[in-house]
Structure 1
Amino acid sequence: MTLRLSDGRLAGLLYLLLVLTGIFSLIYVPSQVIDLDDPVRMLALIGDNRTLFAAGICVGLTAYVIYLALPVVLYRVLAPYGQSAARLMVLFALASVPMTFLALGEQLALLDLVTGENGPSEAAGAQALVRMETYFRYTGLASIFWGLWLFPLGWLGWRSGLLPHVLGFLLMISCIGFLIEFAGPLFMSGYSGSLLSTIAGTPSSFAEIGTCLWLLIMGEPKAWRREAA
């Protein structure tokens, strides 16, 4: 089997960049400016923090470009251990990207609503609320595929020996967690503050950060390196 020695660590580097850019654009920036309970105030916050909000959009764009490259690199590493599963991994990951770009389009539209000289109006606030609700719908749909691609990744990582079994298992469990996170609010009022929400979201934090660090530090197993040599 011919394997480029850099593939494992390249995947780890891309994964780490994806995690960092995702935290900034999906968690940090919204925590600073998004207030769905008061859309007029939200527009004012975006106007006061326009550079931060614009940076969040640009970093989000970077994250989704990385998300296009990461499964391709992982495919090169993992395809010999299950080509069908590796193809599913790539397809699930890529399927999310159009929805995430649509979500970014909704954020870009918000910038057009914060240009009023006398501050945001009630009408602009109503439009902003619609934009952000649409943004969250797109990211919610994308999160289905953010979860689905983790199952074949975890299974292939486990099977190939690229990852420790515990990380492979956590990645597969994380897939279920993402699906619960999407379906939970549909069937359960007050889901976001529930114990189930906390439990469902926990495995992916450990699994994805652990996976990117493992790949970045360890690369491919030594046996693969000897075979490649």
Structure 2
Amino acid sequence: MVVLAVMSVPISFMNIVTKYDVLSLISGAQYLSIFETEQLNAQIMLLLKSHNNGIQLVQLFWGLWLFPFGYLMFRSGFVPKVFGILLMTGCFSYLIKFICALLFPEISIPSYVQWPASMGEIGSCLWLLIMGAKEHKNKEKTELQKVIN
């Protein structure tokens, strides 16, 4: 889970470079005067498309780490199981969006495909922030407390 989440970080950082390149092209610097306006516009659109492609690639890793995270939340007993189910479903919604964008770029995927991922991520964060993790009572813990007391 951690490896998948960490793999998305350098890709995201490298993807930010394209945004800085766009800012360089629209800065109006003197060294850009050799380019025609149409050439600059074409370069800007190419960089914006490259940025979009980078986002689609990093979404693969954003989705893949949700399955083990959702499984851990489902099995933990500290948070409601529905968040784990939503996160595992969200993994597949990210994968569907990535595969469709790769194989069928002309088809626009509706935004509601990623609702399970959004509800699972935001819901689990809010649950942990507001409610916290409830104490999991098991037999070993109560026996250990008796020994300590």
Q: What TM-score, normalized by structure 1, do the two folds share? A: 0.54
Say if 2:63 and 2:93, in contact at 8 Å, map to a contact too. yes
Whole-Å Cα distance in 1 between the matches of residues 89 and 120 of structure 2?
Answer: 9
Q: Shift of the alpha carbon at 1:106?
A: 0.6
Please tell me whether Structure 1 or Structure 2 has the larger radius of gyration of its CA atoms. 2
Whole-Å Cα distance in 1 between the matches of residues 47 and 112 of structure 2?
Answer: 29
Whole-Å Cα distance in 2 between the matches of residues 113 and 189 of structure 1?
Answer: 27
Q: Which residue of 1 aligns with 2:123?
A: 210
Q: Note if 1:201 corresponds to 2:114.
A: yes
Show CA shifts across 1:71-111 (max 9, x none). Answer: xxxxxxxxxxxxxxxxxx11110011111001101101111
Q: Note if 1:109 corresponds to 2:25.
A: no
Q: Structure 2 regions of 5+ residues with no counterpart?
A: none
Q: Let me know the Cα RMSD of the aligned residues.
A: 2.1
User: Higher RCO, 1 or 2 (CA under 8 Å, sep at least 6)?
Assistant: 1
Amino acid at match of 1:95: M
Show CA shifts across 1:132-178 (max 9, x none). Answer: 11111111111001001110110001111132111100000000000
Q: Which residue of 1 aligns with 2:8?
A: 96
Whole-Å Cα distance in 1 between the matches of residues 97 and 105 of structure 2?
Answer: 13
Say if 2:77 and 2:136, in contact at 8 Å, map to a contact too. no
Say if 2:78 and 2:136, in contact at 8 Å, map to a contact too. no
Alignment of 1:40-189 (within 5 A): 89-116=1-28, 121-188=37-104
Whole-Å Cα distance in 2 between the matches of residues 104 and 185 of structure 1?
Answer: 20
Q: What TM-score, normalized by structure 2, do the two folds share? A: 0.81
Q: Structure 1 regions of 5+ residues with no counterpart?
A: 1-88
* Percent identity (aligned): 39
CA 1:189–1:135 in 2, change beyond 3 Å: closer, same or farther?
A: closer
Find the residue that maps to 1:115 and give its secondary structure: coil
Whole-Å Cα distance in 1 between the matches of residues 101 and 88 of structure 2?
Answer: 22
Amino acid at match of 1:213: L
Whole-Å Cα distance in 2 between the matches of residues 162 and 105 of structure 1?
Answer: 40
CA 1:105–1:189 in 2, change beyond 3 Å: closer, same or farther?
A: closer
Whole-Å Cα distance in 2 between the matches of residues 199 and 109 of structure 1?
Answer: 32
